[in-house]
Chain A
């Protein structure tokens, strides 16, 4: 038994539960899923637990790019970000993987994790029916028991257990695996880690771009970084000014060209 590792695995897994989509204790979605389960934040938390804050943040930033724009409409998930954010980042750190290899590792675990999430939702149907029945009986204590306690017990098990097993037993395994892996595979994973963020960004574009002219702004941001070497804050300020001009421009009616904004809004309304 490795006491330090045991403690680290338990701590990471508790955060994994706290950051799950369905956990209420950190003001629900807001402080959990959308705050500590962002790899940027979880990288810091895992880094603190494992005793290397800086490396944790660096890996968190690298993995965050892949998932920068994960929208989960109707609870449909392309990857279980919660398992990416905690066990996967911990595993990557414990096995001293490079950031690119960490990205690939995390993505794989994330895709596998969706199975657990879907299972959780199926089990909740059972609790839901009991909760509705409790209201029909007028028993509100029983309602809360079946609407909060039952699902959360299920949620805890489905988050803590896989996370703990992966971190506690996986770290030794992953390190040996990475050490004995041929350079060829490491190279493949490194390339893949560099390219995977493109998928995250493309997902965001798919969700947001309703008209192709918006790509001009995307290109503008891209060029500002590549050629003008702006940093992210300067770029945000530039983008804010442009958005403001766009807003004031689109508010004045009659000035806009036939293909402009006013036209499109009319189409949407009728």
Chain B
């Protein structure tokens, strides 16, 4: 790219608008479309300051239904900005349809990557560390989470946005390619290990059943503790996972099920 119409200031403005407004007017019908249009407005202003009809055409294009994981999805905004610039420069290969279909084509994969990387992995890992540091009521873990998450996301998304702009249409391969998948997997391994630790720390279930057999009292929990402490919580997690992943039981139904079991279980314990 030799010629450029967009400067860094306009691009930064577009990035900030996206990060602020991505979900601003979300509805089932349009989801993030208004946020996308708002983020494209500075770009449209710059590219078509003299041509209101073309600006209108571009803005209308970006009000189409749109939905992705917004923070990783900043990449798509960058790509769109780069393509809109090429289009305004008169690159005949780039049409409105191409830009729209690229947006639609990318939003699914990036939502998949984004949802599993950000709320699926990064946030649980940072929260786990924060919860560990704050488990005694200390403020340290909370501050750690706030600073770490916001720094990673602000600069990370910003990097993706500008990288997307630089690479334009070429960037698709870089971020969904083989190496990216290996990194994703390695992070999944990291996340799974940490989540195992979180599960052990926070799920609590003790079985208070005690039986009197031939004069000696048998304490079920004490026996379990001797073999595998926390075995009951582990089984509850696997059982919940099995019902949700394999039997499509909704979390709300599961909560109700556990409520009934707890109700009956405590009742049973009261009887003895």
Contacts and interface: CB of A to CB of B under 8 A. Distances in A.
What does DSSP make chain A's interface, helix, strand, loop or mixed?
helix
Interface in B142-174: 142, 145-146, 149-150, 153-154, 157
Contacts of A25: 20
A232 B128 contact: yes
A224 B164 CA distance: 40
30 contacts: A27-B150, A30-B71, A38-B127, A53-B139, A60-B134, A65-B198, A65-B202, A68-B124, A68-B198, A121-B27, A121-B28, A128-B27, A131-B34, A132-B60, A191-B266, A194-B204, A204-B124, A205-B237, A205-B241, A208-B120, A208-B121, A217-B192, A219-B196, A221-B195, A221-B199, A222-B196, A232-B133, A239-B189, A239-B193, A243-B189
A207 B250 contact: no
Contacts of A79: 251
Contacts of A123: 27
Nearest to A117: B26
A-B pairs, 8 with minimum CB distance: A221-B196, A232-B132, A194-B204, A202-B240, A124-B27, A239-B193, A247-B186, A243-B190
Nearest to A203: B251
Contacts of B97: none
B12 to A, nearest CB: 13
A122 B28 contact: yes
A94 interface: no
B153 A22 contact: no
B255 A125 contact: no
Size bin of chain B's contact surface: 35 or more
A53 B194 CA distance: 27
Interface residues of A, number: 113
Contacts of A223: 196, 200
A115 to B, nearest CB: 12
Interface string A240-262: 10111011001100000000010
B182 interface: yes
Nearest to B65: A128
Contact of A107 (B70, B133, B255): B255
Contacts of B27: 121-125, 127-128
Contact of A214 (B192, B252, B259): B192
A207 B120 contact: yes
Contacts of B178: 265, 269
A75 to B, nearest CB: 6
B245 A132 contact: no
Contacts of B29: 125, 128
Interface string A39-83: 011011000000001110110111011001111111100110000
